[in-house]
Structure 1
Amino acid sequence: MGIELVELSNLLEYQKEFITINDEEEYKRCTAKLNCKGIVLRDVIKGKDIKTKKQQVCKAGQLLVAEIDAKVGGYGIVPSELEGAIVSSHYFLFNVNEEKLNRLYLHYYLKTDDFFNQIKPQGTTNYASIRPRDVLKIKIPLPSLERQKEIVEKLERFFKNKELFDKQNENNAEILNKLRQSILQEAVRGKLVPQDPNDEPASVLLERIKEEKERLIKEGKIKKEKPLPPISEDEVPYEMPRGWEWVRLGEISAIVGGGTPKTNIKDYWENGDIPWLTPADLSNIKGKYISKGRRNITKLGLEKSSAQLMPKGTVLFSSRAPIGYTAIASNPLSTNQGFKSCIPYVMQMNEYIYYYLTYSAKKINEQASGTTFKEVSGSEVANFLLPLPPLREQKRIVEKVDQLMALCDELERNIEQSKKDSELLMQSVLQEVFKEA
């Protein structure tokens, strides 16, 4: 005979009590992490900075459910360290009747698919929410308190091992990120591939670039710009191999901004066939190249805005928060104003420039300024220092980095699979344990 399923209405009591926030006091605020990851500290804040002056106070051991985020696993048991923390009216608090229900038993059951699948939000997709009565209708298996305690002890042993396993995955991911950065560092310092004395030096490449710029200016394709300042010895961060040259990014490529056609004019957007990117479009791409974003613009939209059509091979660099996303355009496209993109005067340099900007992204982000949001200007991007190898050596560097990054990608896939396996194992263990409850 199976264990009886009991509605939470018989085990929980909905609490709806509010306090008035004092401007002079300091408050802990908590929030529900998504994907059943529990309740955590959101921040510690002065009362004067809390806009809504009516708030709820949490007690350790209560069930806290987010009105909207419950549909994506936004719920959990309030931990002891968040006793007295506050939440808004968009959260629901429930006291647990511990004469019937072990709160740790409930804590673990909240992680199961069986609990999650009983959440039935109402409303439109983005704002679908649940009410306290919906929570209280959820059913859980309820064995004796003694059996609940046994289940908790078994699961605590399992989760202790899972925590160690997950921590190792996190460590491996961190090590992998450091490995990627180390590869790029070796590459841009000339230590990743051997030098060839027969390579045409970068100084000759710079002469070719100078000639190309002069040709483009003469043909009216680019404007003549104020010369960039010479590079002083104090600016040079390290010594380069023979045949390399320190240059400013604006010396070897055109720095191009972007723009956004007016969103209320349909002719700028409807049936557009020009890929138009925002920094968010670069946030999750795999590999170096990108061909399209989530939106297209029309030729008219391009003409009526500061957006520009950039050629295949352009190095895209997000210059407005988030700063440092990089990619290479695999076809002509345009971007919004959150980019300062680089069009190399010798296009064969684009992959090396891409890797150098990828390597420098964190440092650039740290040095960026801004109050409302951080940003680097076009002139700042043009003044970036870049160690320029001979063109043939650039090709060898890119090939080697590609090879090593492919190996890193494989390691990353293994780590991600390991994380998924950990979650699948957890669900399997939870299902088995509660089935035997």
Structure 2
Amino acid sequence: MVWDGSRSGLVGKGIDGALGSTLIRINFPGIHNDYAYYFLQSKYLQINSRAKGSGTPHVDPDLLWNYSFPIPPLNEQHRIVAKIEELFSELDKGVESLKKAREQLKVYRQALLKHAFEGKLTEDWRKKNADKLETADQLLDRIKHEREARYQQQLEEWKSAVEQWEKDGKVGKRPSKQGKPKHLKSIGKDIQQTLPNLPDGWVWGKLGLMTTGVEYGSSTKSKKTGSHPVLRMGNIQNGKFDWSDLVYTSNEEEIRRYLLKKGDVLFNRTNSPELVGKTATYTESRPAVFAGYLIRINQINSIALSQYLNLFLNSHVAKQYGNIVKTDGVNQSNINGEKLINYPFPYCSTLEQKKILEILDEKLSVIDVFLDNIEENIARSEALRQSILKKAFSGQLVPQDPNDEPASVLLERIAREKAEVAVTAKKGRGPKKIIKQKAYEHL
């Protein structure tokens, strides 16, 4: 029996027939190996909850060695193991079916998003509302004018802020001027050829067309307390903000500069390869600022609705063309602001965006309910697994047989085999370190 004593995320897992630097070999003389394995599995949650170590967790040896180990007759150990494996096999089949259904729902979700951003979900709607829609050229022309208008508005706001700063005696930093929006070239033909075809009135353009400039978050070190929470990349979960693990700031300058506005879409620019690019929309549930590993897109809502943008960035096509850059030396990836504004983006009228969101909201909410139910059932299966182990090691899983060998014979055999192991180790033919003696308790 080999037991993982330190590896993060795997602390306390048993591995049969393997050795490594983070593993402990535990000998169980006279005991059915699988019986001992399942006993340790029954203590897995306790061992993990009391892991030692400030960095990578380590199992507390005192906790592990001082468990009272119930030892039934050997034949009963075999019956217990057989029953556990029978029940676990049924559980595993159920969990496998649940996981398969979960993956199918995720595939269906991505298929919905794909159809949404190819204009297929609103094909009938467009036919009924053709007189209300722009041509692709009209759409691009309007986007250009909306972007210029936003820039002019920001210049006026900057001038007003500077005047107020001067009236206040120039306390604090001088308000910074918004840079002129970057000129963005059309999407290259090589990329254009790989993108899905769009219906009339739609156009693939670079994401930067919807903003006068993206913005990195605060780099100031956060604290455990403060006036405003600082949303970090870990707070983005499944396209939404999770407010359960927060840090804070009370820095007035940081709050003024990075205070979030309703509808802001934040993009996670650095993470492991499968998680980089997560996004969420801020819905103004409470005042907050955002941290440096996030990018505020500052989208112009008359060009791209925040949830339309958010859902697109969480779709397969967006991640496929994300231009992810590996960071040397660590298992992380990075997408900077320059890469982000060059994402291909499917532009259509905000009127059609609203219709797309209406359809997606209805369909995705059903998927989310099913996914939540699946996760609950998977969690229940794990609780049931622990319940089975609890019964197994409290004598309630299988009936006892009066014909099984008595405890005295079993204990004599255990003592004999322990002595043989000790002699072998002393001669250098076995484990050099003998696990210290443990108090056994007969069931």
TM-score category (smaller protein): 0.7 to 0.9
The one-letter code sitting in structure 1 at the alignment partner of 2:382 is: E
State the partner residue of 1:183.
112
1:367 and 2:303 aligned: no
Q: Once the two structures are superposed, what CA deviation does each residue of 1:4-60 show, in whole Å capped at 9, x if it has no partner?
A: xxxxxxxxxxxxxxxxxxxxxxxxxxxxxxxxxxxxxxxxxxxxxxxxxxxxxxxxx
Distance 1:227 1:402 in 2: 34
State the partner residue of 2:436.
none
Distance 2:334 2:387 in 1: 46
Match of 1:103 among 16, 23, 33: 33
TM-superposed CA distance for 1:78, in Å, is 2.5
Equivalences for 1:16-415 in 2 at 5 Å? 62-66=1-5, 74-80=11-17, 82=18, 85-88=19-22, 91-97=23-29, 99=30, 101-112=31-42, 117=46, 121=50, 130-193=59-122, 194=124, 195=126, 196-201=129-134, 203-219=137-153, 220=155, 222-236=178-192, 237-263=195-221, 272-282=226-236, 284=237, 288=240, 294-302=246-254, 308-321=258-271, 322-331=275-284, 333-347=288-302, 349-359=305-315, 360-364=317-321, 367-372=324-329, 373-415=332-374
Distance 1:213 1:120 in 2: 53
Q: How many residues align?
A: 358
The one-letter code sitting in structure 2 at the alignment partner of 1:338 is: Y
The one-letter code sitting in structure 2 at the alignment partner of 1:260 is: S
* Greater per-residue strand proportion: 1
The one-letter code sitting in structure 1 at the alignment partner of 2:312 is: Y
TM-superposed CA distance for 1:326, in Å, is 0.8
Instruction: Report if the CA contact (8 A) 1:199-1:393 is conserved.
Output: no
TM-superposed CA distance for 1:390, in Å, is 1.8
Instruction: Report if the CA contact (8 A) 2:226-2:250 is conserved.
Output: yes
Instruction: Report if the CA contact (8 A) 1:257-1:341 is conserved.
Output: yes
Distance 2:196 2:310 in 1: 20
TM-superposed CA distance for 1:174, in Å, is 1.4
State the partner residue of 1:58.
none
TM-score, reference length from structure 2: 0.71
- The DSSP-based 3-state class of the residue aligned with 2:183 is coil
Distance 1:119 1:380 in 2: 41
Distance 1:352 1:380 in 2: 20
Instruction: Report if the CA contact (8 A) 1:323-1:361 is conserved.
Output: no
- The DSSP-based 3-state class of the residue aligned with 2:333 is coil
Instruction: Report if the CA contact (8 A) 1:258-1:338 is conserved.
Output: yes
TM-superposed CA distance for 1:125, in Å, is 8.3
- The DSSP-based 3-state class of the residue aligned with 1:246 is strand
Alpha carbons of structure 1 residues 346 and 171: separation in structure 2 relative to 1, 3 Å: same
Instruction: Report if the CA contact (8 A) 2:227-2:249 is conserved.
Output: yes
The one-letter code sitting in structure 2 at the alignment partner of 1:224 is: K
TM-superposed CA distance for 1:184, in Å, is 0.5
TM-superposed CA distance for 1:252, in Å, is 1.3
Identity %: 23
Instruction: Report if the CA contact (8 A) 1:112-1:427 is conserved.
Output: yes
Name the larger-Rg structure. Answer: 2
The one-letter code sitting in structure 1 at the alignment partner of 2:269 is: S
Instruction: Report if the CA contact (8 A) 1:65-1:92 is conserved.
Output: yes
CA-atom RMSD, angstroms?
3.2
State the partner residue of 1:11.
none
Distance 2:217 2:367 in 1: 35
Distance 1:417 1:127 in 2: 29
Runs of 5+ unmatched residues, structure 1: 1-61
Q: Once the two structures are superposed, what CA deviation does each residue of 1:244-281 show, in whole Å capped at 9, x if it has no partner?
A: 12221111124423243443xxxx86864344222111
Higher relative contact order (CA 8 A, sep 6+): 2
TM-superposed CA distance for 1:230, in Å, is 2.0
Instruction: Report if the CA contact (8 A) 1:228-1:250 is conserved.
Output: yes
Distance 1:420 1:155 in 2: 18
- The DSSP-based 3-state class of the residue aligned with 1:296 is strand
Distance 1:377 1:336 in 2: 14
Q: Once the two structures are superposed, what CA deviation does each residue of 1:75-120 show, in whole Å capped at 9, x if it has no partner?
A: 243323x3xx3124xx5432121x2x1111112222325x755899
Instruction: Report if the CA contact (8 A) 1:290-1:328 is conserved.
Output: no
Distance 2:321 2:245 in 1: 24
Instruction: Report if the CA contact (8 A) 2:217-2:296 is conserved.
Output: no
TM-score, reference length from structure 1: 0.72
Instruction: Report if the CA contact (8 A) 2:181-2:213 is conserved.
Output: no
TM-superposed CA distance for 1:63, in Å, is 4.1
Alpha carbons of structure 1 residues 288 and 133: separation in structure 2 relative to 1, 3 Å: closer
* Greater per-residue helix proportion: 2
Instruction: Report if the CA contact (8 A) 2:119-2:199 is conserved.
Output: yes
